[in-house]
Structure 1
Protein backbone atom coordinates (compact mmCIF):
# COMPACT_ATOMS: atom_id res chain seq x y z
CA UNK A 1 0.00 0.00 0.00
CA UNK A 2 1.29 3.45 -0.89
CA UNK A 3 2.09 6.03 1.79
CA UNK A 4 -0.62 8.66 2.38
CA UNK A 5 -0.57 11.63 0.04
CA UNK A 6 1.04 14.75 1.43
CA UNK A 7 -1.65 17.42 1.89
CA UNK A 8 1.00 20.00 0.96
CA UNK A 9 2.27 18.27 -2.20
CA UNK A 10 0.87 21.11 -4.34
CA UNK A 11 2.09 24.54 -3.28
CA UNK A 12 -0.87 26.96 -3.30
CA UNK A 13 1.56 29.79 -4.11
CA UNK A 14 2.69 27.95 -7.24
CA UNK A 15 -0.24 28.00 -9.62
CA UNK A 16 -0.26 24.96 -11.87
CA UNK A 17 -1.87 27.05 -14.58
CA UNK A 18 1.29 29.17 -14.89
CA UNK A 19 2.83 26.49 -17.07
CA UNK A 20 1.90 26.96 -20.72
CA UNK A 21 2.00 23.16 -21.04
CA UNK A 22 -1.22 21.55 -19.83
CA UNK A 23 -2.05 17.86 -19.58
CA UNK A 24 -5.82 17.54 -19.85
CA UNK A 25 -7.95 19.88 -17.76
CA UNK A 26 -6.81 22.11 -14.91
CA UNK A 27 -6.64 19.19 -12.47
CA UNK A 28 -5.52 16.29 -14.68
CA UNK A 29 -1.77 16.77 -14.21
CA UNK A 30 -2.15 16.97 -10.44
CA UNK A 31 -4.37 13.87 -10.39
CA UNK A 32 -1.78 11.99 -12.43
CA UNK A 33 0.91 13.05 -9.95
CA UNK A 34 -1.27 11.84 -7.06
CA UNK A 35 -1.54 8.42 -8.73
CA UNK A 36 2.16 8.17 -9.54
CA UNK A 37 2.97 6.07 -6.43
CA UNK A 38 0.03 3.71 -6.85
CA UNK A 39 -3.75 3.36 -6.66
CA UNK A 40 -5.76 5.85 -4.62
CA UNK A 41 -9.31 6.18 -3.42
CA UNK A 42 -11.41 9.23 -4.28
CA UNK A 43 -11.20 10.56 -0.71
CA UNK A 44 -7.39 10.23 -0.74
CA UNK A 45 -7.17 12.33 -3.91
CA UNK A 46 -9.13 15.15 -2.30
CA UNK A 47 -6.47 15.64 0.42
CA UNK A 48 -3.77 17.36 -1.69
CA UNK A 49 -6.30 18.73 -4.21
CA UNK A 50 -7.82 21.10 -1.67
CA UNK A 51 -9.53 23.43 -4.13
CA UNK A 52 -11.36 20.77 -6.12
CA UNK A 53 -15.03 19.93 -5.64
CA UNK A 54 -16.28 16.36 -5.68
CA UNK A 55 -18.14 17.07 -8.93
CA UNK A 56 -15.05 18.40 -10.70
CA UNK A 57 -12.83 15.59 -9.41
CA UNK A 58 -15.38 13.06 -10.67
CA UNK A 59 -15.50 14.75 -14.07
CA UNK A 60 -11.69 14.88 -14.32
CA UNK A 61 -11.32 11.22 -13.32
CA UNK A 62 -13.96 10.18 -15.87
CA UNK A 63 -12.17 12.13 -18.59
CA UNK A 64 -8.81 10.57 -17.67
CA UNK A 65 -10.48 7.15 -17.67
CA UNK A 66 -12.14 7.80 -21.05
CA UNK A 67 -8.76 8.83 -22.49
CA UNK A 68 -7.16 5.60 -21.22
CA UNK A 69 -4.84 7.29 -18.74
CA UNK A 70 -6.53 6.16 -15.52
CA UNK A 71 -8.21 2.89 -14.64
CA UNK A 72 -11.05 2.52 -12.14
CA UNK A 73 -11.32 -0.67 -10.11
CA UNK A 74 -14.31 -1.58 -7.96
CA UNK A 75 -13.50 -4.08 -5.22
CA UNK A 76 -16.53 -6.03 -4.05
CA UNK A 77 -17.06 -6.80 -0.41
CA UNK A 78 -19.15 -5.69 2.51
CA UNK A 79 -18.00 -2.16 1.76
CA UNK A 80 -17.63 -1.23 -1.90
CA UNK A 81 -14.15 0.14 -2.49
CA UNK A 82 -13.25 2.07 -5.64
CA UNK A 83 -9.65 2.84 -6.53
CA UNK A 84 -8.09 4.80 -9.36
CA UNK A 85 -4.69 3.97 -10.83
CA UNK A 86 -2.57 5.02 -13.77
CA UNK A 87 -2.71 2.75 -16.77
CA UNK A 88 0.50 2.01 -18.71
CA UNK A 89 -0.55 4.81 -21.09
CA UNK A 90 -0.98 7.18 -18.12
CA UNK A 91 2.43 6.17 -16.72
CA UNK A 92 3.87 7.10 -20.10
CA UNK A 93 2.89 10.72 -19.43
CA UNK A 94 5.07 10.98 -16.32
CA UNK A 95 8.28 11.53 -18.33
CA UNK A 96 6.85 14.32 -20.51
CA UNK A 97 5.32 15.89 -17.38
CA UNK A 98 8.73 15.86 -15.69
CA UNK A 99 10.23 17.63 -18.72
CA UNK A 100 7.43 20.23 -18.76
CA UNK A 101 7.82 20.86 -15.01
CA UNK A 102 11.58 21.21 -15.36
CA UNK A 103 11.18 23.69 -18.24
CA UNK A 104 8.60 25.70 -16.29
CA UNK A 105 10.95 25.81 -13.29
CA UNK A 106 13.81 27.13 -15.46
CA UNK A 107 11.58 29.82 -16.97
CA UNK A 108 9.48 30.65 -13.90
CA UNK A 109 10.55 34.30 -13.64
CA UNK A 110 10.05 34.89 -17.36
CA UNK A 111 6.59 33.35 -17.22
CA UNK A 112 5.63 35.51 -14.23
CA UNK A 113 6.97 38.66 -15.92
CA UNK A 114 5.04 37.84 -19.09
CA UNK A 115 1.82 37.29 -17.14
CA UNK A 116 2.22 40.55 -15.25
CA UNK A 117 2.99 42.49 -18.42
CA UNK A 118 -0.04 41.29 -20.36
CA UNK A 119 -2.46 44.09 -21.18
CA UNK A 120 -6.09 42.91 -20.93
CA UNK A 121 -7.83 42.88 -24.31
CA UNK A 122 -10.60 45.22 -23.11
CA UNK A 123 -8.01 47.80 -21.94
CA UNK A 124 -6.19 47.73 -25.29
CA UNK A 125 -9.30 48.82 -27.25
Structure 2
Protein backbone atom coordinates (compact mmCIF):
# COMPACT_ATOMS: atom_id res chain seq x y z
CA UNK A 1 0.00 0.00 0.00
CA UNK A 2 2.81 2.18 -0.81
CA UNK A 3 1.86 5.07 -2.87
CA UNK A 4 4.99 4.91 -4.86
CA UNK A 5 5.00 6.29 -8.36
CA UNK A 6 7.65 7.07 -10.84
CA UNK A 7 7.50 9.53 -13.58
CA UNK A 8 10.00 10.33 -16.26
CA UNK A 9 9.65 13.18 -18.69
CA UNK A 10 11.62 14.04 -21.77
CA UNK A 11 11.30 17.18 -23.77
CA UNK A 12 13.00 17.59 -27.10
CA UNK A 13 13.12 20.74 -29.18
CA UNK A 14 14.18 19.82 -32.67
CA UNK A 15 13.98 22.68 -35.14
CA UNK A 16 12.59 20.97 -38.18
CA UNK A 17 11.38 24.12 -39.82
CA UNK A 18 12.48 27.58 -38.71
CA UNK A 19 10.57 29.46 -41.36
CA UNK A 20 13.59 29.81 -43.70
CA UNK A 21 15.56 31.98 -41.28
CA UNK A 22 18.75 29.97 -41.71
CA UNK A 23 18.52 30.16 -45.49
CA UNK A 24 17.99 33.92 -45.32
CA UNK A 25 20.94 34.29 -42.97
CA UNK A 26 23.17 32.32 -45.36
CA UNK A 27 22.05 34.45 -48.29
CA UNK A 28 22.68 37.63 -46.30
CA UNK A 29 26.15 36.38 -45.38
CA UNK A 30 26.90 35.76 -49.06
CA UNK A 31 25.68 39.25 -49.94
CA UNK A 32 27.85 40.72 -47.17
CA UNK A 33 30.82 38.78 -48.51
CA UNK A 34 30.22 40.16 -52.01
CA UNK A 35 29.96 43.68 -50.61
CA UNK A 36 33.22 43.22 -48.71
CA UNK A 37 34.94 41.92 -51.85
CA UNK A 38 33.66 44.88 -53.86
CA UNK A 39 34.82 47.32 -51.16
CA UNK A 40 38.26 45.70 -51.13
CA UNK A 41 38.49 45.90 -54.92
CA UNK A 42 37.47 49.56 -54.83
CA UNK A 43 40.09 50.32 -52.17
CA UNK A 44 42.76 48.57 -54.23
CA UNK A 45 41.76 50.62 -57.27
CA UNK A 46 41.89 53.85 -55.27
CA UNK A 47 45.31 52.92 -53.91
CA UNK A 48 46.59 52.22 -57.41
CA UNK A 49 45.28 55.58 -58.59
CA UNK A 50 46.92 57.32 -55.62
CA UNK A 51 50.24 55.62 -56.38
CA UNK A 52 50.05 56.57 -60.05
CA UNK A 53 49.21 60.14 -59.12
CA UNK A 54 52.11 60.26 -56.66
CA UNK A 55 54.49 58.92 -59.33
CA UNK A 56 53.34 61.50 -61.84
CA UNK A 57 53.54 64.29 -59.28
CA UNK A 58 57.04 63.20 -58.20
CA UNK A 59 58.25 63.21 -61.81
CA UNK A 60 56.66 66.60 -62.40
CA UNK A 61 58.10 68.01 -59.17
CA UNK A 62 61.56 66.81 -60.15
CA UNK A 63 61.31 68.65 -63.46
CA UNK A 64 60.09 71.77 -61.64
CA UNK A 65 63.03 71.43 -59.24
CA UNK A 66 65.55 71.16 -62.09
CA UNK A 67 64.04 74.26 -63.71
CA UNK A 68 64.11 76.15 -60.42
CA UNK A 69 67.78 75.30 -59.90
CA UNK A 70 68.57 76.59 -63.38
CA UNK A 71 66.59 79.76 -62.68
CA UNK A 72 68.52 80.20 -59.44
CA UNK A 73 71.84 79.86 -61.28
CA UNK A 74 70.72 82.34 -63.92
CA UNK A 75 69.55 84.87 -61.36
CA UNK A 76 72.87 84.49 -59.49
CA UNK A 77 74.76 85.27 -62.69
CA UNK A 78 72.48 88.25 -63.29
CA UNK A 79 73.11 89.45 -59.74
CA UNK A 80 76.88 89.09 -60.13
CA UNK A 81 76.73 91.03 -63.38
CA UNK A 82 74.52 93.70 -61.82
CA UNK A 83 76.88 94.10 -58.85
CA UNK A 84 79.80 94.69 -61.22
CA UNK A 85 77.69 97.02 -63.30
CA UNK A 86 76.65 98.97 -60.21
CA UNK A 87 80.25 99.18 -58.97
CA UNK A 88 81.33 100.61 -62.30
CA UNK A 89 78.49 103.13 -62.19
CA UNK A 90 76.58 101.71 -65.17
CA UNK A 91 73.45 100.71 -63.23
CA UNK A 92 71.41 102.12 -60.39
CA UNK A 93 70.83 100.85 -56.87
CA UNK A 94 67.28 100.08 -57.97
CA UNK A 95 68.60 97.69 -60.63
CA UNK A 96 70.93 96.06 -58.10
CA UNK A 97 68.14 95.59 -55.55
CA UNK A 98 65.86 94.16 -58.22
CA UNK A 99 68.57 91.62 -59.12
CA UNK A 100 69.02 90.76 -55.44
CA UNK A 101 65.27 90.28 -55.00
CA UNK A 102 65.11 88.09 -58.10
CA UNK A 103 67.94 85.93 -56.76
CA UNK A 104 66.33 85.56 -53.32
CA UNK A 105 63.01 84.65 -54.95
CA UNK A 106 64.77 82.10 -57.15
CA UNK A 107 66.44 80.57 -54.09
CA UNK A 108 63.07 80.30 -52.37
CA UNK A 109 61.48 78.73 -55.43
CA UNK A 110 64.30 76.20 -55.70
CA UNK A 111 63.99 75.27 -52.02
CA UNK A 112 60.22 74.91 -52.28
CA UNK A 113 60.53 72.78 -55.42
CA UNK A 114 63.15 70.60 -53.74
CA UNK A 115 60.95 69.88 -50.73
CA UNK A 116 57.86 69.30 -52.85
CA UNK A 117 59.85 66.69 -54.77
CA UNK A 118 61.24 65.09 -51.60
CA UNK A 119 57.74 64.94 -50.11
CA UNK A 120 56.47 63.02 -53.13
CA UNK A 121 59.45 60.65 -52.98
CA UNK A 122 58.69 59.92 -49.32
CA UNK A 123 55.04 59.38 -50.19
CA UNK A 124 56.05 56.84 -52.83
CA UNK A 125 58.33 55.13 -50.31
CA UNK A 126 55.40 54.92 -47.94
CA UNK A 127 53.23 53.32 -50.61
CA UNK A 128 56.04 50.88 -51.44
CA UNK A 129 57.11 49.94 -47.91
CA UNK A 130 54.21 50.96 -45.71
CA UNK A 131 56.49 52.97 -43.42
CA UNK A 132 58.15 56.34 -43.44
CA UNK A 133 61.86 56.11 -42.65
CA UNK A 134 64.50 58.77 -42.68
CA UNK A 135 62.20 61.74 -42.21
CA UNK A 136 64.84 63.61 -40.22
CA UNK A 137 67.37 63.32 -43.04
Q: TM-score range by the shorter chain?
A: under 0.3
Which structure has greater helix proportion? 2
- TM score, norm. by length of structure 1: 0.26
- TM score, norm. by length of structure 2: 0.24
